[in-house]
A = this chain, B = another copy of it.
Amino acid sequence: MTDIFARLESLIADRKRNGAAGESYVAKQLARGRLKLAEKLGEEAVETVIAAVAQDDKALVGEAADLLFHLLILLGDRGLSLDDVRAELERREGLSGLAEKAGRQT
């Protein structure tokens, strides 16, 4: 069975291809456009920050889930994916590995 992130990305790509799909939350978000997708990500981040400061772990996990879900939508809207993010993190890991060899650490 594929990872939940992969399943969500597949669902987002499908909703993007097939447009306004009645009751679909993802289709509605996509239809609101780039600025509103960015705004939504910002709002979820604010809620994540607040849950972390309030030391509410249950809320933190819930808000982190919202944040990641809306990050996938924001990326998907522009034809980007979590694999692009993974590749960037791996690139940095490589640089960091080189840095580490040179005496610094991640």
Q: Please pick, from B8, B46, B71, B88, the residue contacting A46 in the complex, using a CB distance under 8 A.
A: B46
Contact B4 A90 (CB under 8 A): yes
Contact A7 B54 (CB under 8 A): no
Tell me the A10-53 residues at the B interface (CB within 8 Å).
11, 21-27, 34-35, 37-39, 41-43, 45-50, 52-53
State the majority secondary structure of interface residues on A.
helix
Chain A interface residues (CB < 8 Å from chain B): 3-5, 7-8, 11, 21-27, 34-35, 37-39, 41-43, 45-50, 52-55, 57, 60-62, 64-65, 67-69, 71, 74-75, 78, 80, 84-86, 88-90, 92-93, 103-106
Given contacts A23-B105, A34-B55, A42-B46, 17 further A-B contacts (CB under 8 A): A22-B105, A34-B53, A35-B50, A39-B50, A41-B52, A42-B42, A43-B43, A43-B46, A52-B78, A53-B53, A61-B80, A61-B84, A64-B75, A64-B80, A64-B85, A68-B68, A68-B71
